[in-house]
Amino acid sequence: MGKIYNYIFEAKLKNQKLLAILIDPDKVAVESISVLTEKIKQSPATHIFVGGSSFDGHHLDEIIIELKSEIKLPILLFPGNPSQISAEADGILFLMLLSGRNPDYLVEHQINAVPILEKTKLEIISTGYILIESGSETAVERVSKTKPLSKTNAEYVAQTAKAGELIGNKVIYLEAGSGAQNAVPIEIIKEVSNRISAPLIVGGGIRSKKQIDEAYAAGADLVVIGTAFENDLNFFG
C-alpha cells in the first residue's frame, strides 16, 4: 500500500488518533485559502480532505495547488463524483457507497473514474462509505438518491462495514452527512470498530471537541471536521 495509507494504518496500530479538516471547494475562493491555511497550521489536523457532494470541480486544481504551497499535510480527495478528481492532490478516497443500493455509487462512477485516475499519480485508497441516518435529509442522501442506514441497528451497520472490508475496502468511513443534525451514534462507532480491523473514519455533524474525543474513545481512528471549522476558523483554539 501507499505512503498515506501506511501512515493511517500504523497510527491505528499505535492508537495515535488522526484528524482531517474537510474543505468543500464550493464554499471557498482560491483568494481566501491563505486565511484557511493559517488556521489549519495552528490546528491538530493530520490530513486535509477536499470534496463535496455537488461540486463540479471547476477550480479544484487551483485550490489544491494553493493549499499545497502553504501546508505540508497530505491532501486527500473526497469526491462526490468523477469530476472532482485532481492530479494535484496526494491521494483519493475511492468511495463505494456501501449503505446505498444505487449502482451509480456502487460501481458506475468508479468505472468512469478509471481513465482519469490512470493519468494521475494519486494514491488510491479503497473506502467503504456508510451513510447513517442523522435526523434530516443530507446532501449525500439527496445527491446519491440513497437511504442512510438506521441509526438504531448497529448490528446491520457493523455487518455492512465488515462486508466492505471483506470485499477489499482498506478503510471504512462512517458518515452522518456534512452539517448533519446528529453525528454517528457512539454505539454504532463501537460496534463497527469492534468488528473490523481496517482503520475507521468518522465524520458528519461533529461540532465540539468533546464529540471528537468521544468518537476516538469509541474506536474512530480518524475524525473529519468540516462545517464546525467552516463556521468558526478558531474552532481548534
Q: At what angle do helices 60-70 and 33-42 cross, to 10 degrees?
A: 40
Residue 224 makes contact with ligand 1GP by CB under 6 A: yes
CA dist 81 and 68 (Å) reads 22
Provide the minimum distance between the beta carbon of 189 and ligand 1GP in the complex, in angstroms, as a whole number: 13
Among 66, 133, 175, 221, binds ligand 1GP (CB under 6 A): 175
Contact 200, 174 (CB under 8 A): yes
Query: Binding segment for ligand 1GP among 10-18, 64-72, 83-91, 220-228 (CB under 6 A)?
Result: 220-228
Residue 218 makes contact with ligand 1GP by CB under 6 A: no
Provide the minimum distance between the beta carbon of 64 and ligand 1GP in the complex, in angstroms, as a whole number: 18
Torsion of CA 76, 183, 223, 4, to 10 degrees: -30
> Count of residues for the chain?
237
Residue 86 makes contact with ligand 1GP by CB under 6 A: no
Q: Quickly count: other Cβ atoms within 10 Å of residue 219's Cβ.
A: 20
CA dist 130 and 99 (Å) reads 5
Site for ligand 1GP in 2-21 (CB under 6 A): none
Residue 203 makes contact with ligand 1GP by CB under 6 A: yes
Residue 179 makes contact with ligand 1GP by CB under 6 A: yes
Rg of the chain in Å (alpha carbons): 16
The string of DSSP letters for 73-113 reads S-EEE--SSGGG--TTSSEEEEEEETT---HIIIIIHHHHH
Residue 206 makes contact with ligand 1GP by CB under 6 A: yes
The residue (of 164 and 205) whose beta carbon lies closer to ligand 1GP is 205
CA torsion sign for 7, 212, 176, 190 is: positive
Query: Binding segment for ligand 1GP among 29-37, 67-75, 83-91, 175-183 (CB under 6 A)?
Result: 175-183
Residue 185 makes contact with ligand 1GP by CB under 6 A: no
Among 204, 211, 218, 236, binds ligand 1GP (CB under 6 A): 204
Binding site for ligand 1GP (CB under 6 A): 22, 175, 178-180, 203-206, 224-228
